[in-house]
Amino acid sequence: MTAETAVGVARQFTSRTCQFTGLRVDVAAQNLIKANAVAAVVFLAIGGLMGLLVALTRWPAVHLLPAEWFYLVLTGHGANVLLFWIIFFEMAVLIFASTILLNARMVMPKLAWFAFILMVVGAVLGNVAVLQGESSVMFTSYPPMMAKPHFYLALILFAVGALIVVGQFFANLIVAKEEGAFQGSMPLVTFGALTAAIIAVWTILSGAAILIPTLMWSMGWLSDVDPLVYKVVWWGMGHASQQINVSAHVSLWYLVGALLLGAKPLSEKVSRTAFFLYILFLQLASAHHLLAEPGLSASWKIVNTSYMMYLAVLGSMIHGLTVPGSWEAAQRRNGYDKGMFEWLRKAPWGNPAFSGTFLSLVMFGFIGGISGVVLGTEQLNVLMHNTLYVPGHFHGTVVTGTTLAFMAATYLVLPLIFQREIIWPKLAKIQPYLFGIGAAGISLFMMGAGTLGVARRHWDITFSDAELNFAHSAGAFLMMGLNGVFAVIAALGGIIYVLVVVGTVLWGKKITSGHKLTFPLHAGGAAAASQYGSHATVKLPGTIVLIAIFFVSFVLYYFINWKYLSELWLFR
């Protein structure tokens, strides 16, 4: 891993060759990945702490914070984890997928550093605005609630920085192709990152289109911002930003399978088509937040959700088959071919990169995916619109899905990019299980409470300061208590993650030539990840059984909600 000056077709760049993957690592890209990953973890720690405070306040027996502080930390929690943590990490993914994975160079690294500084300034300024206490408008910041101008300015600065990096991703791809870093089609992981980048462009443009006038309104330059126009355009950013996550973490599922098991996509064409469905239709799911708006027609709602969103769901279901299918195919090729599930039993469960990725895949599908389809159905949406079911759903996608996948990927980033051996490997082994179980509990119990009518974003479900009394059922209180317990478990998992990452970066043993990794990679992993090609097999009995279980669960839950709906609307 000595530094060398590699000669590309058109340009020179300083690089090293990774001893574990054989990939050429552009040092400029590596440094940018490190910076973005560190920033991501810092904001995860801040946002995660705020999330714990939210959960401890919504736990009726604890009810930790007063109302003003509750809405303040809820705003900070949303901004830090839904935007700052995730998008910083995604910038690292975009840079990795467009440079190192292609043996290519980072185009204009100084511009990327400028973008990174813009993002850091935006994220810090956003936190300052929230902590000053006059911008507790929550993540959605719906007018006529008004935050201080520097709250909106912070989001705009952050978004501009992210847009610059996304632009550089496209430049990296084009230059890599021009300079012959790869020929033909790009590898699937890079294609997934391309999908994330495309969705990011639309997301950021939507954000700019609504946050710039909202900033002007908060400065007194505009008399008002129409609340419904704001909602329509803002959700183009608010929900689509989570679709960047989906594309990015699905890419990481393929990447981790390749690096740890040597898994190649079952079919590049099929998986690329699934990502193509994301590019065309995934952003339209933003409409499911507006299904209860009387000002929007049923045609707009149904076309955007029940028609177009289902095409994106089809993409997810394809990935839901091809990701575990590629792992099964690889494991069978690796010699674990007995029976239906030896490939799964003999998987590297002690490797946190694998266990985190597997849990992310399963819980994203079963919890976040199924509940997302239910929420996106106009008729069923009225059952749980604006209840705690909605945060339950998106904790199922963003926390058990994306955050857990990003945490898992970190256990590869630390040795391969930071070149440090993971300290406390025993803690690292249990971390994905602890965090995954906690996050799954949060999602499920919030969805349960929402089904029982508990509103989202409400400080006090006992309505102790209300003029008119209302008592939620005992079941709702139980759900909120269990939500608090599982939030504590997830927080423990989060704390371990931050400690392992910080400890490894600062004090982890430096990896030198001939080092043997604590959590080893598959010998052919890098080739499987960085080259276009398919495994081309359909002998997947274990995956077929798992998929059948998923479909049965999906259908049952979907129709159970129609049963609930029939009890809500009685026709006699």
Partner 1 sequence: MSTKETNVNVGGAGAKSEPIPFMQRLLDSPLLLLFLGVAIPTLLYTLWGVMEVVAIPLAK
Nearer to partner 1 among residue 47 and residue 187 (C-beta) = 187
- Please count the CA atoms within 13 angstroms of the CA of 440 that sit on its side-chain side: 16
User: CB of 417: closest distance to partner 1 in angstroms?
Assistant: 24
> Buried b / exposed e across 537-550, counting CB within 10 Å, b at 16+?
beebebbeebbeeb
**3-class SS at 59?**
coil
Q: Which of 48, 122, 236, 325 binds partner 1 (CB under 8 A)?
A: 236
User: CB of 497: closest distance to partner 1 in angstroms?
Assistant: 32
Tokens of 491: 């927080």
Nearer to partner 1 among residue 104 and residue 444 (C-beta) = 104
Nearer to partner 1 among residue 229 and residue 505 (C-beta) = 229
Q: Does 183 bind partner 1 (CB under 8 A)?
A: yes
Q: Does 228 bind partner 1 (CB under 8 A)?
A: yes
User: CB of 210: closest distance to partner 1 in angstroms?
Assistant: 10
Q: List residues bridging with 5 in a β-sheet.
A: 14
Nearer to partner 1 among residue 199 and residue 454 (C-beta) = 199
CB 445 within 8 A of CB 391: no
CB 439 within 8 A of CB 363: yes
Q: Which of 174, 222, 382, 455 binds partner 1 (CB under 8 A)?
A: 174
Nearer to partner 1 among residue 236 and residue 325 (C-beta) = 236
Count the site residues for partner 1 by CB under 8 A: 45
Nearer to partner 1 among residue 31 and residue 534 (C-beta) = 534
Q: Does 229 bind partner 1 (CB under 8 A)?
A: yes
CB 252 within 8 A of CB 405: yes
**3-class SS at 17?**
strand
Locus of tokens 């963003």: 398
Q: Which of 191, 364, 394, 519 binds partner 1 (CB under 8 A)?
A: 191
Q: Which of 70, 139, 152, 202 binds partner 1 (CB under 8 A)?
A: 202
Q: Does 163 bind partner 1 (CB under 8 A)?
A: no
Q: Which of 127, 206, 214, 400 binds partner 1 (CB under 8 A)?
A: 206
Binding mask of the shown chain, residues 509 to 548, with x at each position contacting partner 1 by CB under 8 A: -----------------------x----------------
Locus of tokens 């990502």: 275
- Name all contacts of 2-11 with Cβ < 8 Å and 24+ positions apart: 3/27, 8/104, 8/105, 8/179, 8/180, 8/181, 9/178, 9/179, 9/180, 10/175, 10/178, 10/179, 11/105, 11/179
**DSSP state, 571?**
-
Q: What is the DSSP string of 292-350?
A: T-TTS-HHHHHIIIIIHHHHHHHHHHHHHHHHHHHHHHHHHHTT--STTTHHHHTS-TT
User: CB of 199: closest distance to partner 1 in angstroms?
Assistant: 6
Piece in contact with partner 1 (CB under 8 A), picked from 48-56, 153-161, 197-205, 404-412? 197-205
E strand or H helix that includes residue 26? strand 24-26
User: CB of 173: closest distance to partner 1 in angstroms?
Assistant: 5
Q: Which of 19, 31, 140, 185 binds partner 1 (CB under 8 A)?
A: 185
Cα–Cα distance between 48 and 497 in angstroms, integer?
A: 11
Nearer to partner 1 among residue 133 and residue 295 (C-beta) = 295
Nearer to partner 1 among residue 298 and residue 548 (C-beta) = 298
Cα–Cα distance between 193 and 47 in angstroms, integer?
A: 25
User: CB of 189: closest distance to partner 1 in angstroms?
Assistant: 14
Give the chain's radius of gyration (CA, Å): 23
Q: Does 393 bind partner 1 (CB under 8 A)?
A: no
Q: Does 162 bind partner 1 (CB under 8 A)?
A: no
- Please count the CA atoms within 13 angstroms of the CA of 326 that sit on its side-chain side: 32
3 CB neighbour count, 10 Å cutoff? 11
**3-class SS at 295?**
coil
User: CB of 230: closest distance to partner 1 in angstroms?
Assistant: 10
User: CB of 275: closest distance to partner 1 in angstroms?
Assistant: 8
Nearer to partner 1 among residue 186 and residue 318 (C-beta) = 186
User: CB of 279: closest distance to partner 1 in angstroms?
Assistant: 4
CB 443 within 8 A of CB 392: yes
Q: List residues bridging with 15 in a β-sheet.
A: 4, 26
CB 122 within 8 A of CB 157: yes
Cα–Cα distance between 25 and 2 in angstroms, integer?
A: 11
Q: List residues bridging with 343 in a β-sheet.
A: none
Q: Which of 12, 132, 273, 462 binds partner 1 (CB under 8 A)?
A: 273
User: CB of 319: closest distance to partner 1 in angstroms?
Assistant: 16
Nearer to partner 1 among residue 190 and residue 483 (C-beta) = 190
User: CB of 303: closest distance to partner 1 in angstroms?
Assistant: 7
Find the binding residues for partner 1 in span 276-315 (CB under 8 A): 276, 279-281, 283-284, 286-287, 290, 295-297, 300, 303-304, 308
- Please count the CA atoms within 13 angstroms of the CA of 377 that sit on its side-chain side: 15
Peptide bond into 520 cis (omega under 30): no
**3-class SS at 546?**
helix
Nearer to partner 1 among residue 279 and residue 490 (C-beta) = 279
Q: Which of 264, 272, 288, 429 binds partner 1 (CB under 8 A)?
A: 272
Cα–Cα distance between 360 and 107 in angstroms, integer?
A: 32
Q: Which residues bind partner 1 (CB under 8 A)?
A: 170, 173-174, 183-186, 191, 194-195, 197-199, 201-202, 205-206, 209, 226, 228-229, 232-233, 236, 240, 269, 272-273, 276, 279-281, 283-284, 286-287, 290, 295-297, 300, 303-304, 308, 532
